[in-house]
C-alpha cells in the first residue's frame, strides 16, 4: 500500500479467527463474502477440515480461496475446486518424499498413527496408496481423535510389530501426547511427524521427548543450512529478517505460507486485474516459477497447488532447534 496498492487500489484486510472450529470458519467466510465484499480469501484456519468446510461457500460465491492447508482434497479434482488454490504442498508429494527417505535409510517396515481429521485421514490414504509401489510395508494402522490425551493403547499395539519407524500425522496437541507416550513406553523406533507439526511450541511442550524427532517439512525452518545455490534461500532469509525486525520475534513455516499466498494473489491481481474471475485466471496464468518462501510455485488451469516433492525436505528437532537431515 505504501507503493500505491495494486493497480492504484490499496489492499484492505479483513481478519477473522476461526478458533480451530469449522462452523466458525464457515460463518466467517460467509461474512467476508456477503458483508465485507472481499475479492479473495487467503487462509483457511491452517486446518484441512476447516478448508474443506468452507469450500462449498467460496465455490458458490465464485470467490478465490488461497488455502494454506495440506490435504490433497482441498484442490483436487480441479474441476470441482475451480476457485481454490494452495500456498503449500499437497500431502501426495509429502508422503512420496517420506517414502523416498525411508528407502534411503533402509527402512521397509513402518507404522502409521493418524488423527481422524481430514489432514490425518488424507495422509493415511496417501500412504496406503503409495507404500506398496515404494516397497514399504505398513505393519500397523492406528488412529486417534484429535482431542485425545492418551495414545498408549495404540502405541502398545505398534510396539508388538516389527515397525522400525512410527509416523504420526496431526496438527493438534495430540502429537505432543504421541511423543511423550512413546518415550514413556521406551520405544526406540524412528519417530516421524508430518508437515503439520513443524512448530517450536509443540517441540517445547514435548520437552525432552521431542529430541531427535524427524519431520517432513518445507525448507523454511532450515533456510540457514540450505546451499547458497538454493533458489529460495534468499527469499526465506529476507522474510525472516524483516519479520524479526518488525515484530521482535521469529515467524514460522505457517506464517510463510500465508505470506506466499498473499504475495501470489497480489501478483495475480497486478497482472490480471482485481475482479474475482480475473484473480482466478491470473493465478492460473501468471504464477510460473514463483520463488516464494515455501518453494518454487507454478500454477496452471489443471494444477491449483504450486509446489512439488522437490520442495519437501526431512528435518529433525535437535538441541532446541530444527536441523536439516535430508534435502
pLDDT given for residue 105 in this prediction: 97
- The β-bridge partners of 169 are 114
User: Which grid coordinates belong to 127?
Assistant: 500412504
Place of cell 529478517: 241
All three cell numbers of 302, joined, read 489443471
Give pTM, 2 decimals: 0.93
In angstroms, rounded to a whole number, what is the distance separating the alpha carbons of residues 113 and 239?
Answer: 34
The answer to whether 40 and 64 have CB atoms below 8 angstroms apart is: yes
Which residues of the chain carry a pLDDT beneath 70? none
Residues pairing with 312 in the sheet: 218
- pLDDT for 15 equals 95
Could you tell me which of 96, 167, 132, 71 has the C-alpha nearest to residue 310?
96
Alpha-carbon gap, residue 69 to 305, rounded angstroms: 11
Amino acid at each position: 500500500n505504501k507503493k500505491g496498492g495494486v493497480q492504484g487500489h490499496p489492499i484492505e484486510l479483513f481478519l477473522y479467527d476461526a478458533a480451530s472450529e469449522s462452523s466458525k470458519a464457515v460463518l466467517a467466510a460467509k461474512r467476508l463474502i456477503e458483508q465485507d465484499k472481499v475479492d479473495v480469501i487467503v487462509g483457511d484456519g491452517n486446518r484441512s477440515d476447516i478448508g474443506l468446510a468452507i469450500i462449498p461457500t467460496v465455490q458458490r460465491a465464485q470467490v478465490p480461496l488461497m488455502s494454506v492447508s495440506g490435504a490433497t482434497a482441498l484442490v483436487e479434482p480441479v474441476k470441482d475446486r475451480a476457485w481454490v488454490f494452495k500456498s503449500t504442498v499437497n500431502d501426495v508429494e509429502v508422503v512420496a518424499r517420506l517414502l523416498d527417505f525411508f528407502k534411503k535409510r533402509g527402512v521397509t517396515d513402518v507404522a502409521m498413527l493418524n488423527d481422524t481429521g481430514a489432514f490425518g485421514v488424507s495422509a493415511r490414504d496417501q500412504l496406503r496408496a503409495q507404500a506398496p509401489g515404494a516397497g514399504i510395508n505398513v505393519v500397523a494402522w492406528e488412529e486417534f481423535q484429535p482431542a485425545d490425551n492418551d495414545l498408549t493403547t495404540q502405541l502398545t499395539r505398534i510396539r508388538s510389530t516389527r515397525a522400525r519407524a512410527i509416523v504420526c500425522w496431526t496438527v493438534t496437541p495430540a502429537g505432543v501426547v504421541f511423543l511423550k507416550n512413546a518415550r514413556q513406553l521406551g520405544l526406540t523406533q524412528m519417530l516421524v511427524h508430518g508437515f503439520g507439526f513443524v512448530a517450536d511450541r509443540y517441540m517445547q511442550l514435548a520437552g525432552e521427548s521431542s529430541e531427535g524427532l524427524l519431520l517432513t517439512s518445507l525448507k523454511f525452518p532450515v533456510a540457514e543450512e540450505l546451499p547458497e545455490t538454493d533458489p529460495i534461500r534468499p527469499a526465506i532469509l529476507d522474510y525472516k529478517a524483516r519479520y524479526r525486525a518488525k515484530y521482535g520475534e521469529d515467524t514460522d513455516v505457517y506464517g510463510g505460507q500465508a505470506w506466499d499466498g498473499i504475495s501470489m494473489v497480489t501478483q495475480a491481481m497486478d497482472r490480471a486485474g482485481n475482479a474475482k474471475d480475473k484473480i482466478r485466471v491470473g493465478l492460473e496464468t501468471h504464477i510460473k516459477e514463483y520463488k516464494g518462501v515455501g518453494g518454487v510455485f507454478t500454477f496452471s488451469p489443471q494444477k491449483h497447488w504450486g509446489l512439488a516433492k522437490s520442495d519437501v525436505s526431512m528435518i529433525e528437532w535437535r538441541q532446541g532447534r530444527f536441523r536439516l537431515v535430508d534435502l
